[in-house]
């Protein structure tokens, strides 16, 4: 790559800026449910696969256990999830949606979909954007693996 390094042509800066804007973008619709963005993506993961360990969620979301544990405690206190010790292995904590948490999937995802629709993506542009973002993630993961293996 031969581009001069400037702030505006740094992928990392543009992704960080997009992340900040997405947090703000989701703030209003999620506030109706008293959720933060990170709580929302945690619930999304549980709606896809319920009854998982903290370690599973940590890997799926890319969050450390130290970040995830207080977040899960807040979700439990608010009635979204339960946290219980695995009877087969007491070291493992299982995370399961409550009835309230399961019932809120449709209203929350409908609200979020309405917001996403306001971005006016057609299917092709959306898919191309997702593929580009996934490509960046894959390149970063390969770079990390190469560092670890050297």
pLDDT band at residue 2 using 50, 70 and 90 as cut-offs? confident
pLDDT of the residue at 123: 94
Q: Taking residues 20-35, what's their average pLDDT?
A: 94
Question: How far is the C-alpha of 18 from the C-alpha of 136, rounded, in Å?
Answer: 14
Task: With 0.75 as the threshold, say if the pTM is over it.
Answer: yes
Name the strand (E) or helix (H) holding 67.
Answer: helix 65-77
Coil vs helix vs strand at 118 = coil
CA quadruple 49, 27, 67, 10: dihedral sign:
positive
CA quadruple 33, 20, 140, 134: dihedral sign:
positive
- Token pair 């050297």 is found at 150
pLDDT of the residue at 88: 86
Average pLDDT of the residues of the chain: 94
Q: What is the pLDDT of residues 47-80, one digit of tens each?
A: 999 999 999 999 999 999 999 999 999 999 999 9
49 to 23, 94, 135: CA distances (angstroms): 24, 12, 25
């Amino acid at each position: 790559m031969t581009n001069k390094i400037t702030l505006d042509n740094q992928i990392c800066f543009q992704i960080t800026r997009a992340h900040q804007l997405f947090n703000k973008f989701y703030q209003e619709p999620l506030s109706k449910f008293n959720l933060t963005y990170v709580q929302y993506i945690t619930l999304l993961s549980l709606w896809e696969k319920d009854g998982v360990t903290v370690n599973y969620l940590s890997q799926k979301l890319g969050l450390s256990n130290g970040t995830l544990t207080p977040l899960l405690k807040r979700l439990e206190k608010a009635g979204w999830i339960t946290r219980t010790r695995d009877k087969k292995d007491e070291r493992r904590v299982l995370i399961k949606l409550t009835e309230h948490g399961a019932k809120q999937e449709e209203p929350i995802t409908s609200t979020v979909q309405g917001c996403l629709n306001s971005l006016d993506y057609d299917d092709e542009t959306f898919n191309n954007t997702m593929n580009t973002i996934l490509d960046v993630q894959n390149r970063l993961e390969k770079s990390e693996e190469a560092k670890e293996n050297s």
